[in-house]
Amino acid sequence: MSQHITQTGRSAAMNPAASAYLDALRALGANLVVAAHVLALYFGIKRYPLGSLGVMIFFLLSGFLIMQSMLARAGRPGPQTAGFLADRSARILTPYVPALLLIVLIDSLWIRGNYNSGGTNTGALAFFGNLLLLQDHSVFQFLELVGAGVAWRIRPYNSAEPFWTVAIEMWIYVAAGLFFFCAVRRERIARLWLILLTLVSFPVVVWNAAAGGGKSLTLIWLVGALIGFVFFHWRAHGYANSRLIAAVMVLFGMGALVGRIGKVGFSPYDLQTAALIAIVLFGVLAHLVTRASISPRWQRVLERLAAYSYSLYLLHNTILIAVLESLPVKDLRIRAAIAVVLAHACSYLLYWSFERHYRALAAWLRPRFEMILRARQTSEAASPRPAMGADLAARKS
């Protein structure tokens, strides 16, 4: 669940209302996942795909914002691959690593049940596998598909069920960055790192275009990225005809979405359904980018709710389970309410202690990534080539 889950930056070219709307979507996505887990864990209700809807929103937003980030970087001087990967790594890992450590501690002290079926989901192997974002990697899933599954398949660390989407999102970032900066813009990085990162990331992208837990999360991410590409270039034209475009997008998307749901039911991971939802959501954004205003108070509220949405996504399920197993309150409704409040409080503390500092970590990582990923130059490439005229003169002499 991510953008999805992990993107706090808002486009500087968007007005406060549009920025607040993106914040509202991020907060909504996280709380939909929380609601889904509360219903499933406390009341045994699993028929509402709220969690899938939340994850789908995260991946749409992630694709939208990361595409705009890559396009903006393309306009800067110098190589951008290392800086992009450093920024994305910092954004993902700043709260993720402390959240993983905290979850291991909570699992050992207050949680007795097993909440991930099959594979390795506790112990040192699971811990380091999750630390390296290898949980539910496509290689494990492919081996299982062909009947050659391994007992040490790494799963999300027990109660940390939402971690499966974080790994997918991270490797999508890596693959997108390598493709955009190295393949399209022809930047060079160290060959060994290029091969290694490609071998780890691209199978995840391919697998999750057709299978995986979300069935088509890569394609959903690409839908968001495509819309982000359009918005980025539309901005250069001052978002011309935004009111008409917004009306067409929302009306078309809503009409087609009603028909799709009537025909096949509501499944947010269905690519057509996700694309139609994207048209509606970004159709509203198309209206807000130039015309709407919002009170500063509401803008601050939505910004604060969105600020810790990634931390909430990471931590909430473990808190819900710990309260369910450990709190001696018979009324499940009261226990669920306490669990939700505690999940938000703990997640905000995680945000305040770690997540909000991701930019500082990114600044520290950039020069180190640049040094590690710098392509080794050959003597011919390292020495300046003579100008064409000088080269011809040298040959004649």
DSSP string computed for 132-174: TT-TT-HHHHHHHHTT---TT-B-S-TT-TTHHHHHHHHHHHH
The residue written with tokens 């005809």 in the block is: 241
Q: Which of these, 196, 138, 209, lies nearest to 167 by C-alpha position?
A: 138
Cα–Cα dist 178/194, whole Å: 8
- For residue 347, give its domain range: 16-234+303-374
Which contacts of 341-345 are long-range, i.e. CB under 8 A and separated by 24 or more positions?
343/34, 343/312, 343/315, 343/316, 343/319, 344/312, 344/316
The DSSP output letter for 240 is: T
Read off the pLDDT of residues 193-230 as tens digits, 9 standing for 90 and up.
Answer: 999 999 999 999 999 999 999 999 999 999 999 999 99
Distance CA 166, CA 169 (A): 5
Question: SS3 for 374?
Answer: strand
pLDDT of residue 252: 98
3-state secondary structure (DSSP) of residue 120: strand
| The pLDDT value given to residue 13 | 61
Q: Which amino acid is at 233?
A: H
Q: Is residue 247 part of a domain?
A: no
Which tokens in the block code for residue 343?
A: 């999940």
In a domain, 370, yes or no: yes
Please report the pLDDT score of residue 117 as a whole number: 73
Contacts of 143 (CB under 8 A, 6+ apart): 149, 150, 153
Q: What is the DSSP letter of 46?
A: -
Sign of the CA dihedral running 125, 128, 133, 134: negative
Give the count of beta carbons closer than 10 Å to the beta carbon of residue 241: 13
Q: In the chain, what percentage of residues exceed pLDDT 90?
A: 84
More confident residue, 145 or 280: 280
Start-to-end CA span in the chain (Å): 67
pLDDT tens per residue across span 93-151:
999 999 999 999 999 999 999 998 778 999 999 999 999 999 999 999 999 888 887 88
pLDDT (tens digit, 9 = 90+) per residue, 16-53?
Answer: 999 999 999 999 999 999 999 999 999 999 999 999 99
CA distance 353 to 360: 13
- 27 found inside a domain: yes
Closest CA to 132 of 177, 158, 166, 86: 166
Residue 251's pLDDT is 98
pTM above 0.75, yes or no: yes
Q: Is 180 part of a structural domain of the chain? A: yes
Residue 292, in any domain of the structure: no
Residue carrying structure tokens 């002499």: 397
Q: How confident is the model at residue 241 (pLDDT cuts 50, 70, 90)?
A: very high
- Residue 263 inside a domain? The answer is no
Please give the tally of structural domains in the chain.
1
Residue 172 falls inside a structural domain: yes
187 in any annotated domain: yes
